[in-house]
Every structure is written in structure tokens, then in C-alpha cells.
Amino acid sequence: MTHGSHERPHPRRSWRVGTPVVFLLSGALFAVSAANSDGTDLRPGRYNDLASLVSNESEEVEALTQRVADLTNEVNALTQGLGDRKVRRIQAEIETMRDPAGLTPHRGEGVTVTLSDAPREVIESSERDVNLLIVHQQDIQAVVNAMWKGGARAVTIQGQRIVTTTGIKCEGNAVQLQGVPYSQPYVIQAVGDQDELLEAIDTDRYVSVYRSQAEVADIAVGWSLEPEDDLTAPPYEGLLDLNYAQPL
């Protein structure tokens, strides 16, 4: 029987060619693995990983423990330093300034001034400028200033202690005091010598204008002045931080 011109390759010839190729590829893989592992095991055992983790955590705990010890020693050193002469002098200065800053309560005799808008019927019927019929921030401020001139040891508005940073501002039909709006009537109290306070209020020019307008029938803003035998001014409880602008 006659065969075609193409013959099937002999099996031995295929093995002779394939075997060297396999060895070459295996060698290349070994070389790549060695380079990547840098001489270490590419798949370390779980027990080796756990040991490394415990070791690292132990070192971190030791470092944190030492940090705690160092901070404790620092706190102890600072605590011991509280009794030195310089600290005692500064603390004494702070205590001295607490009262002028309004951070301590005051109790004693004094006066109470109450300001209020004109009655509704007056406001509705009066032909006067409406600004004359209501209490403004400058009216409150004038009374407070007169009290300070009269030697007041403490002043409150609506029960809130007034300090050097207190701002009084009109906000619609209310007055804003230290950021809090209050409606009328406005109660202003001062702790101090009664005679000196009364004299200062009686002789203040701005307050005198307000009092004279209170007596005009078609203005009739509210005015009341009462001597007090026992007043208590609480300490200032607002923010003590100062905000200020800086030039560019």
C-alpha cells in the first residue's frame, strides 16, 4: 500500500526536543523565585508570622509603658513645682485680679434702676418720634456708666454681671447683652455705697434727659429708682477670651 508524502513525527523525536525546553523553563522559574524572595522563604509558616507579630507588639507595649513612666515623672515634677515662690506669686496676682475682673460675687447695699418702653397706648397715640418712646442701648449704658462713676463695686443687667468686655447692643425690639437678647423692662442693679450711687445717677446729664422725658405724657418712657439694703451680684460666667483684629 502506498503512503502519502507527509509522515507522523516519531514519538522519540518529540521527547528529545521537549525535555530540554522543560528544564530551561524550570530553571528560569527557580531563578525568578530566588530573586523575589531575596534569600528568604516566599511562604513563611503561620507560626513564624505569629512569633514576629507577638515580638513587635511586645516592643510597642514596652515603648508605650516607658512613655507613660516618663510622663508620670514629668507630672510629678510639675506638681512639686507648684509650691515654689514664683508660682505662689503668680497665683496671688491671679486671686487679686479676680475681683476687679468680675469673677467673684458681691453682696451689700445698692440701688436698682428699671428702664422700660412707653406703654402701648402711648406708643399707638403719640405723634412723637418712635425712637423717643423706647429704651435704647445708650440709655442702659448711661445708667451703667453713672453707677461706675458712683463707685459701684459690681453692676448687673437682667441679673448678668457686667465686666469691661461686656457689649450692650440693640437687636430689633430687644437689647443684646453678651450675645443674649433680653426684652424690656431692663433691670440694672449696682452694689455699692447708696449715697454715692444716688448722687452719681442724679447728676448725670444723659440720665437727667431720660428722666425728664419719662415725665412727658406723650413720651412716658419707664423710669424707676429704688434704694436696696441687700443686693447680690453673681460672678461673671461668660467667655473670657479676647478677639481682636490685626493689621494686614
CB 140 within 8 A of CB 212: no
Question: Given this model, what pLDDT does residue 165 score?
Answer: 80
pLDDT digit of tens for each residue in the chain (248 aa)? Answer: 444 444 445 545 554 555 555 555 555 555 555 555 555 554 444 444 555 655 666 677 778 878 888 888 888 777 766 667 777 777 777 777 788 778 899 999 999 999 999 999 999 999 999 999 999 999 999 999 999 999 999 999 999 999 888 888 877 778 888 778 888 999 999 999 999 999 999 999 999 999 999 999 999 999 999 999 999 999 988 766 656 677 87
Write the CATH number of the domain with boundaries 105-233: 3.30.70.1880
Task: Report pLDDT for 59.
Answer: 75
